[in-house]
A and B are shown apart, each in its own frame.
Chain A
Amino acid sequence: MLLHYAPGSAHSAAVRIVFAEKGIEPELRKLDMVHFEQHSSAYLAINCHGTVPLLEAEGRKLFESFAILEYLDETYPEPPLIGGDPRQRYIARKWGKYVETHIAPNLAIARWAALHGRMPAEAQAGLANLLPERCALWLRAIDGFDREQLAASTHAILAAGQRLAGDLANNPWLAGDAFTLGDAAVYPHVAQFETLGLPVPAAVAEWLRRVAARPSVQAIREDLFPVAVMGPEPGRWG
């Protein structure tokens, strides 16, 4: 197995955490997002979405990080990480979806603003090679997000913190008494909040410390920094 990943990519970190939890070391190919290597023609030939991570396994190329996490859990069942019963599995998957629809897109927008994101002209020239929806999102970023969008994104991030706190009120982990793919998927994103000046409720801060203490997370902690890049597209219709 070969994992294409980038330091600073929260989605990449989630996959690396799960590999480490499983005790598996894939071959790694590192991309430099600071220099937009994920948009290079060499990488786009492998993954037309121009996003990381991408897992090459059994001659196939797998994208979409939460689906990769489930693939790994089903291919390497020990230790099981999707949750011990259907309720826990629902909660893990609910968070796998929420991180894509609500957390990652809004974090990317808030992060772009907080880090004064910019794209050099030579990288902008390469945007035409992206899929139209990815290209459109990057062009919006380069133009700068308006105040209304920034307010909506900040609100969504704070609401996500409250929602996380709700599920953590009586549990050490998001889906209950065991660490699951839900924790692995959400953690690398929320771990960036503090650096960007985005507050989290106390229950979430405690959970962040609990996740950070896991050896699987310790092993990649230097890769958890924020980079001014776009995430998934924000929802276009509610």
Chain B
Amino acid sequence: MLEVHTWEPNANSGKPLFCLHEKGVPFTYRYVDMGAHEHHAPAFLAVNPDGTIPAIVHDGFTMTESTPAMEYIDEAFAGPALRPKDPFRRWQMRVLMRFMDNVVAPSLAMIASNRLAAPRFAGEDPDELRRKLDRIPLPERRSTWEKLMFQATPPDDIAESERRVSDAIRRFDGILSREEWLAGESFSLADICVFATFYGLPLAREDEVNDAASPHLMRWLRACHARPGLQAALKMGKGFVTQRAADVRQKLGVAEAAA
């Protein structure tokens, strides 16, 4: 039995969803409503005591690190290979995923959550917010949520995140000017890892992500959005992500894949 406890098809939360749809592996989607802080509630903490999403449970084996879990999915199930065969290409794939996980995705998360989530907490009772914070098991996650709930992210940190994201956009555009996919000639986990946070950038950062400024990244985004597997995963959402992805497809002129 394969269960994915996660939120929307977005960022880390979406990585297993994208990966399983690309492999064509059936699974049960257990929706965890992050907006309602369900990932810090007892039912989910029983699955992952760290209170982080996603959690993937395969025949009783629980995985909570999304990138190593994607390699597991590629190894444990049939379906198209999502890693190149050549060891150097695999090195490229893994270095890129590490850069994404440690540098780019947290920067984008800081920017997006300060823009979208932080304002929602502005009118809430501080004592109630403190109670919510106390339920977060990992100290590094607690301190991040604290900054969001009390609008305390230093502006310099957000500016530095902006710099890093712009730098990554240029860097990926450069790679994609030489290669078809991020780790070479075949679609791989590196593409999933980046697409999971980049799918919406033609709308969210349209000054940088457009046909004039980053044509190679745009070519790649169209190719990813057109993939039936990635599209199907994006359509699984229960919140704003699914509509957002449809808006991006329309903007990019990408057709809807047959269901």
Q: Which residues of A contact B (CB under 8 A)?
A: 58, 60, 62-64, 66-68, 70-71, 74-75, 86-87, 89-90, 93-94, 96-98, 100-101, 132-133, 136, 152, 155-156, 232-233, 235-238
Q: A87-B61, A97-B68, A238-B109 are in contact. List 13 more A-B contacts (CB 8 A).
A: A64-B94, A67-B91, A70-B91, A86-B75, A90-B68, A90-B69, A93-B67, A93-B71, A97-B65, A136-B160, A152-B143, A235-B106, A238-B106
Residues from chain B with Cβ under 8 Å of A101 in the complex: 102
Residues of A within 8 A of B75 (CB): 86, 89
| A237 to B90 Cα, complex, angstroms | 27
25 CB-based A-B contacts, threshold 8 Å = A58-B88, A60-B88, A64-B95, A66-B94, A67-B91, A71-B91, A74-B90, A86-B72, A86-B75, A87-B61, A89-B72, A90-B68, A90-B69, A90-B71, A93-B68, A94-B63, A136-B160, A155-B139, A232-B102, A237-B109, A237-B110, A237-B144, A238-B109, A238-B140, A238-B144
Task: Tell me the bound Cα distance from A232 to B99 in angstroms.
Answer: 12
Contacts across chains A and B counted by CB atoms under 8 Å? 93
The docked-state distance in angstroms from the alpha carbon of A136 to that of B163 is 14
Residues of A within 8 A of B238 (CB): none
Does B188 make an interface contact (CB < 8 A)? no
Is B157's beta carbon under 8 Å from chain A? yes
Contacts of B161 in A (CB 8 A): 236-237
In the complex, what distance in Å separates the CA atom of A137 from the CA atom of B67? 26
Q: Cβ of B116 < 8 Å from any Cβ of A?
A: no
Docked CA distance A111–B177 (Å): 42
| B132 CB, nearest partner CB in chain A, Å | 15
Report B83-103 CB contacts with A as 1/0, cut-off 8 Å.
000011011001100100111
What residue in chain A is nearest B144 (Cβ atoms)? A238
Q: Output the least CB separation between A194 and chain B (Å).
A: 24
B231 at the interface (CB under 8 A from A): no
Among A67, A86, A235, which residue has its beta carbon within 8 angstroms of that of B98?
Answer: A67
Interface size on B (CB < 8 Å)?
36
- Expressed in whole angstroms, the Cα–Cα distance for A126 and B84 within the complex equals 39
* Complex Cα spacing A152 to B140, Å: 9
Q: Which residue of B lies closest to A132 (CB)?
A: B163
Q: Is B107 an interface residue (CB 8 A)?
A: yes
Which residue of B has the minimal Cβ distance to A68?
A: B91
- CB nearest to A152 among chain B residues: B139
Q: How far is the CA of A155 from the CA of B138 in the complex (A)?
A: 11
Residues of B within 8 A of A58 (CB): 88
Chain B, residue nearest A232 (CB) = B102
Whether A71 touches B68, Cβ cut-off 8 Å, given contacts A87-B61, A236-B107, is no
Residues of B within 8 A of A152 (CB): 139-140, 143
B38-74 interface code vs A (CB 8 A; 1 in, 0 out): 0000000000000000000000010101011101100
Measured CB to CB, the closest approach of chain B to A7, in angstroms, equals: 25
> How far does the alpha carbon of A64 sit from the alpha carbon of B88 in the complex, in Å?
13
A109 to B87, CA, bound (A): 33
With both beta carbons as reference points, the residue of chain B lying nearest to A235 in the complex is identified as B140
Question: A237 and B139: CB pair below 8 A?
Answer: no
Contacts of A156 in B (CB 8 A): 139-140
On whether the beta carbons of B110 and A236 are closer than 8 Å, the reply is yes
- B residues less than 8 Å from A86 (CB atoms): 72, 75-76
The interface residues of chain B lying within 8 Å CB-to-CB of A64 are 91, 94-95, 98
B68 with A237: CB separation less than 8 A: no
Contact check, B94 vs A67: say whether CB atoms are below 8 A apart.
Answer: yes
With a 10 A CB-CB cut-off, give which of B98, B110, B138, B157 has the most chain A CB atoms: B98
Q: How far is the CA of A89 from the CA of B75 in the complex (A)?
A: 9
The answer to whether A238 and B94 have CB atoms under 8 Å apart is: no
A90 B90 Cβ-Cβ under 8 A:
no
Contact B107–A70 (Cβ < 8 Å): no
Q: How far is the CA of A39 from the CA of B229 in the complex (A)?
A: 45
| Min CB–CB distance A197 → chain B (angstroms) | 21
Residues A75 and B87 in contact in the complex (CB < 8 Å), given A63-B95, A87-B61: yes
The answer to whether B90 and A71 touch across the interface, beta carbons within 8 angstroms, is yes
Q: Which residues of A contact B30 (CB under 8 A)?
A: none
In the assembled complex, which residues on chain A have CB atoms less than 8 Å from the CB atom of B107? 236-237
